[in-house]
Chain A
Amino acid sequence: MNDAEVTRAPFDPAVLFKAAFLVVVAIFVLVPLLATLLGGFKSLGELRVNPFGLPRHWEWQNYADILFSGRYWQLLRNSLVISTLTVTLTLIVASMAAFTFAHVRFFGSSMLLSYLTLGLLFPAATAVLPLFIKVRDLGLLDTYFGVALPQVAFSLAMSVLLLRRFFKDIPHELLEAALVDGCSYIKFFRYVTLPLSRPILATVGTITFVNSWNAYLLPLVMLNTDALYPWPLGIMIYQGEYSSEWHLILAFITLTILPTIILFLLAQKHIVAGLTAGAVKG
């Protein structure tokens, strides 16, 4: 807005107030994160007397023990498997449905679309008990798919809406011309729609991945075996085992949120655009 005003007067009290406000909020956000990172480098005794500052003695051992423990890597691998399954299936299933809703006219099309968007209205938690019984009856309890399939189902509504909106912008004339040239709907989908839709596929993929990577409730209900636990479950168990050895827990937290933060720093624009656009347009 008023850029000129901001740059003109370096000692404008309003600017000073604004800077102070931003600094306070930045500290509010940063301090818990930094204290977690640094806490992992301290001994328990030092953490008690000096939770804020830099460690007087850097205990690399806390981090090293976790990194060489296999447990950490197993949690990350499980999370990666579940998230990859969820993202891949969501993209395939949702883009096929979205393509049909965008380009094929058929009786009941809009009715079926509103049926799918019912999924936006309530959280997965409302029906998690019957969902548990369903997954159990299907024999999928305690498997990766038992977590991934319900996650796909719950991400469909938003994904189909976002993809359909984008697919609709691909000119219909293009499809008609292709059909006349003997191209099938399916080939058109595979060779025209999908390659043209990389940005929206990336957006939908990002939303689905972040949700699945961070998910807690569904894995908690569906999985019983430690060896299959994704990291949010694993870290809760770790915290239970080391209940007040906060230096180890903080190191573990730091290492488990590290992949998210690295991904965020690498693809921040994409992630911000994806998560806010997803929310707004969904």
Chain B
Amino acid sequence: MARRIAIASPINVAGEAASHVASRGPSWDGRFTVLILFLPPALLLFTLFVVLPIGEAAWYSGFNWNGFGRPTRWIGFDNYRFVLETRAFWLALRNNGLIVAVSLAVQLPLALTLALMLAEKFRGAVALRMLFFMPYILAEIATGLIFSFVYDGDYGLVASIWRVFGAEPPHLLASTDTAMLAVLIVIVWKYFGFHMMLFIAALQSLDKSLIEAARIDGATRSQSLRHVVIPLLYPTIRLSVFFAIVGSLQLFDLVMPLTRGGPADSSNTMVSFLYNNGISRMRVGYGSAIGVILFVICVTFAFTYKRWFMRDE
């Protein structure tokens, strides 16, 4: 079948066919069959498991409900008030802000520097790229567990370095002062390779003649980097920032094995706050209110960011 079609498709035949189909009237039967068979599975699954739950979250958030039977105790917007009055919510929001800040201040420059180094061809460049990318494909749960060993106050790597200097090893994950910092380091460890790959892909598709032209005009290496290469990378930088923010709003798996959001809610993200306060206690109304707030933050962010920073793409 496939072969027959391939043979029967030289341009002249195709052109004829187009007019033929048009004149005969569209093969409505065929199109109708496709529409009836091919679209509904996707639309149904998407509506059922993605769109309806969001709508239901908005509805449930008006109730005090533990998930059993039907929701009956309507309490209006009280759940939202409770969420906004919870100190842990603002801590979680602050932590999401911290993640974004570290992504911008540490991860992005690191990824960009490495990309500039590794986009060039030299022995070992590809191996290093792969090595740096590897943490990204590891499960966040496994990464979290590996680092809960690294940070362990009795057996961990950090503890043994401390002992070399004769100091009492700290329990980094158990202190409200250091838990979030420890989580932030793991985030950089896990995600910088992904951002590096974004930059490498962009660098490799850059128009080399522009850089060549700058060089011929007498630009030094750092001048051409600063005035030619980096500006050409702006779209990718904006994309990388976008992913860093979206990623921080979704971060959950990594936090659970490290700290579960503790101690005293000091390392919660929005999603782990949602899990700890809504899901694990089956407080459906309260949890839904958190979900709706998170939804509004995500959608508002996505639209404003795309409108303000990614208009051209």
Chain A residues packing against B (C-beta within 8 Å):
1-3, 5-7, 18, 21-22, 25-26, 28-33, 35-36, 39, 44, 47-52, 92-94, 96-97, 99-100, 104-106, 112, 115-116, 118-134, 149-150, 152-154, 156-157, 160, 171, 173-174, 176-181, 183-189, 191-192, 195, 210, 213-214, 216-217, 221, 231-232, 235-236, 239, 244, 246, 249-250, 253, 256-257, 260-261, 264, 268, 271-272, 275-276, 279-280
Contact = CB atoms under 8 A, between A and B. Distances in A.
A251 B179 CA distance: 25
Contacts of B264: none
A94 B287 CA distance: 31
A177 B46 contact: no
B90 interface: no
24 contacts: A1-B229, A6-B122, A48-B154, A48-B155, A96-B39, A106-B35, A123-B294, A125-B275, A125-B291, A126-B294, A127-B291, A128-B53, A134-B52, A154-B49, A173-B11, A173-B17, A177-B13, A186-B34, A214-B139, A216-B139, A216-B252, A250-B149, A253-B145, A276-B197
B86 interface: no
- Taking residues whose C-beta sits less than 8 angstroms from the other chain, chain B's interface range is 35 or more
Contact of B137 (A92, A124, A131, A210): A210
B1 A187 contact: yes
Interface in B36-50: 37-39, 41-43, 45-46, 48-50
Q: Which of A30, A125, A157 has the most CB of B within 10 A?
A: A125
Contact of A191 (B2, B41, B141, B243): B2
Contacts of B298: 121-123, 126
B216 interface: no
B245 interface: no
B239 interface: yes
Contacts of A39: 149
A79 to B, nearest CB: 10
B114 A25 contact: yes
Contacts of A120: 302
B60 interface: yes
Nearest to B9: A177
B157 A174 contact: no
A28 B150 CA distance: 12
A97 B252 CA distance: 31
Contacts of A179: 17, 21, 27, 30
Given A97-B41, A134-B49, 20 more contacts: A2-B120, A44-B155, A52-B160, A100-B35, A105-B31, A106-B35, A125-B274, A125-B291, A126-B292, A128-B279, A129-B278, A129-B284, A130-B57, A130-B284, A156-B42, A189-B38, A214-B138, A217-B252, A249-B145, A257-B138
A47 B150 CA distance: 12
B149 A36 contact: yes
Given A39-B149, A126-B57, A221 B137 contact: no
Q: Which of B142, B256, B271 has the most CB of A within 10 A?
A: B142
B212 to A, nearest CB: 10
A264 B252 CA distance: 24
A178 B5 contact: yes
Contacts of B243: 279
Contacts of A189: 34, 38
